[in-house]
């Protein structure tokens, strides 16, 4: 049997399995419905994967399907007190363009919409507020799903490694992770560019 099928945006649940509905026709022109669980390109060539991702996004794909085709990226981690740290800049560089495009655009939408939503609330503009709220909510959910799928192997239960902010040019204590905005509970100051006064032989405040 030969079928020509085209995706719809409809997602249905069949026996507990979430599937996407495709409309098709047989060689004899009989209309059929096709329910697809997952899709992936045969080739691992990044150019093919990028084209596949582009075509898949022509109709907004159901979340689980999009996420399931994303390649995972090994997250560069380094041991630290209380866990591991990871370098987000290195992780970003290891991602294929198709993933970077999605994450980057979603991050922009999420921030812009959060800002827009606040301003819409202050200026009492309910139409703009709903638009921004919807965009902020959807982009935050998608961003979370994609980052979890790509960097954490889909595991949102286990404690992730702690972000190292130093590759982003943000001052951070290499031992406890405190920053200018969020210092240690008892207060601290910088004793080295990436070490705060809570540690080691630097505990004593200078006299006078
Ligand atoms: Zn510290
Ligand atoms: Zn500190």
Q: What is the pLDDT of residue 65?
A: 44
If you ran DSSP here, which 8-state letter would residue 155 be given? Answer: -
Average pLDDT over residues 102-124: 96
CA of 177 to the centre of ligand 2 (A): 7
- Contact yes or no for 19/37 (Cβ under 8 A): yes
Number of other residues whose CB lies within 10 A of the CB of residue 70 = 20
> Residue 145, Cβ neighbours under 10 Å: how many?
18
Query: For the residues 164-168, what does the mean pLDDT come to?
Result: 94
Instruction: Quote the ligand 1 centre to 75 CA distance (angstroms).
Output: 24
Phi then psi for residue 182, to 5 deg, are -125, 90
Of the CATH numbers 3.30.70, 3.30.1330, 1.20.58, 1.20.120, which one belongs to the domain with range 72-162?
Answer: 1.20.58
Task: Tell me the CA–centroid distance for residue 83 and ligand 2, in Å.
Answer: 17
64 vs 42: which has the higher pLDDT: 42
Answer whether residue 153 shows pLDDT above 60.
Answer: yes
Mean pLDDT across the stretch 99-111?
Answer: 94
**156 Cα: distance to centroid of ligand 2 (angstroms):** 28
| pLDDT tens digits along 71-99 | 788 888 888 887 899 999 999 999 888 88
Report pLDDT for 60.
Answer: 58
Residue 31: the pLDDT is 80
Distance from residue 180's CA to the centre of ligand 2 (Å): 9
pLDDT at 23 over 60: yes
Give CATH 1.20.58 domain extents, the chain: 72-162
Among 111, 143, 108, 116, CA closest to 132? 116
CB 6 within 8 A of CB 22: yes
Kindly indicate the confidence band of residue 36, based on its pLDDT and cuts at 50, 70 and 90: confident
Q: Which residue bears the tokens 């992780």? A: 91
Distance 164 CA to ligand 1 centre (A): 13
Averaged pLDDT, 120-135: 97
Ligand nearest to the CA of 174: 1
pLDDT bin (cut points 50, 70, 90) of residue 69 is low
Residue 208 has pLDDT above 50, yes or no: no
The rounded Å distance from CA 190 to ligand 2 centre is 8
CA of 188 to the centre of ligand 2 (A): 5
Place of tokens 């995972």: 72
pLDDT at 64: 47
What is residue 76's predicted lDDT score, i.e. its pLDDT? 80
79 CA → ligand 2 middle, Å: 19
Q: Is the pLDDT confidence value at 6 over 70? A: yes
């Amino acid at each position: 049997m030969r079928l020509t099928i085209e995706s719809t945006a409809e997602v249905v649940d069949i026996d507990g399995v979430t599937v996407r509905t495709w409309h098709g026709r047989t060689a004899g022109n009989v209309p059929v419905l096709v329910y697809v669980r997952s899709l992936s390109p045969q080739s691992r060539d990044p150019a093919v994967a990028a084209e596949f991702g582009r075509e898949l996004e022509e109709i907004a794909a159901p979340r689980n399907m999009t996420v399931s085709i994303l390649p995972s990226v090994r997250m560069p981690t380094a041991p630290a007190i209380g866990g591991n740290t990871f370098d987000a800049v290195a992780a970003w560089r290891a991602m294929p363009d198709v993933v970077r495009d999605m994450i980057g655009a979603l991050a922009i939408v999420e921030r812009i919409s959060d800002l827009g939503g606040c301003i819409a609330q202050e200026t009492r503009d309910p139409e703009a507020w709903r638009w921004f709220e919807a965009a902020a909510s959807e982009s935050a959910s998608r961003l979370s799903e994609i980052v979890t799928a790509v960097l954490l192997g889909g595991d949102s239960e286990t404690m992730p490694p702690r972000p190292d902010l130093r590759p982003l040019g943000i001052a951070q204590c290499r031992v406890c992770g405190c920053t200018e905005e969020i210092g240690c509970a008892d207060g601290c100051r910088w004793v080295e560019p990436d070490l705060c006064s809570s540690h080691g032989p630097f505990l004593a405040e200078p006299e006078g």
